[in-house]
Chain A
């Protein structure tokens, strides 16, 4: 049982301790949202009130918390959605439902380089949509920080979301800057972005041979496996009333595969695998075209390693 066995004193302790009294807050059957929510709806304790002693948007709208970053998020969503819906759905070349699939916003032409496009020129809508989408994503992440501060918990959710945002930023901002033109960003639109991904893979010969792509895919498959294993284990253990109690989870997995990572451990492992997979996917995109032009001949280094080059 993790958290109960002795630790190794030679290494730093990155484990956890459950606060005294935390377990005694448990209520059989649980409380309703109406019962518990008022206890947690306190004023202050947000990023903005920590900096400026005051957060002008420190309130809730229905179930949603707003906060300063929620305000920014709403603005960015309104502007970004306007540019996308106007260009793709309304002004698209087909009927409205067809535009949903086939409509597209192309990045600026290669001649623009890294300049900003003036209104009315090709690529302006793309730059505006990407700008406001990035603003919305980052503000949403900061809003998660606000909510985590309010609830006096760790920032892991915001970090995990930040990893997803980093994939967007890598694709639409970092790699285009590395390549020297906004033209390298991907097309916005449902089917066009699939075509872009497909073409991107073959542009660098074969993305299946990209090792960071392989690690990223492995991370996604492992995440799905861990999610299925953890979800099914908790669902089955939730109906268990035998003498083992919660230990049945560890007992079962030790019988199945000789090791159970533990109740806390599975969440740590899942977080690491999911985020690690996406970070590796970032690398596979960033390196393509910037450092590596051809993932097939990339592997020539392997066959020409000195200790077996003559084998």
Chain B
């Protein structure tokens, strides 16, 4: 075996190294130094995140099952930044008395799921993809059951694990049909082998979309989302809603474009079209009536997943760049919102919207951060969320057909609807008065640092136009990635 091909996966190797060091620290360090494990992991991961920005090792490995391109390199870095913020915000929580016994497992499982997502993003073969998908989704069930003192956490884990296995069974059935039709599991070879639609192929593509759609919580497959987001510990929820979703979205784009690109308009454009309309609309409508903020953000993230899918239906390098940009902005905005929720939940245990009444009086900075996050998620101009929505609409509209214009218009109308419920939170914090508001919370410096990074991201990513230009330039070299539309 040619071991030099491992050089094609520097980011994965680095991540495994971080995982091994954390594992050894967790296993062999004495009890008194275990308290430093969260900080140790976070600092180690920060060093790795910075080093991973060095572009190196582009190419294929393992019989072209694994491919590292500039686009996957950028996407992995985006995810790294998000995971770093999640780890930073979890430091205080993992040192809580109830959680601290198992705190090593939290970090190990997070790092391993991230490894699975990297495999998913880079895979060019369905076998590697399935392994990555399962590595990325199964440990999250164990993470959801992490807060053993709360019954909700156990229930969330049970609901997650059953839907995850059900969806992966459907996904694998779809792949088996594709294998029967094409005789290969390589994405490129499938695209060459299946060029015309037939009933079995349509069923197979529908199953594949359903399988990945479960992970992305697109609408017909979204029922688990709200329950799991509400029940799981907030650190896990933020990881699940941002990192897991971003990785699955990119992998979804790779599958649909690379393996089924030759049947874009014949088979899956209309499936995805219907799914996007349903996802955005139903996510918005259900978000309006939620009072629990974690549930509220679950429905909000369903609707955001619909916007992310606009970058897939665009079927162009511009769509790919705008999708990566959207995920980056979404990471900052959603992690800011979840960070505030986590701080308040850790200090007081309150998560409903009414508990946030008058938050501005007692905790002005938390309220300010939450306001910026809501503005960014809703897409109000000076913040990054506006630019990400703008670019993703532009990417989709570039496709040029009337149907896509209608789709973009529906998404636009839904943006306005979504402002209503995002501003409900802002209204509760700033305008409503409450005598028994949440008292002043002295947040830990790691939480403050995490929130500061998020706020800087929300403000700077939108204004620094170089970031989008860089993404656009990176993906522009990948025009051959998109097979001709058939």
- Is B a genuine binding partner of A? no
| Chain A interface (Cβ < 8 Å from any Cβ of B) | none
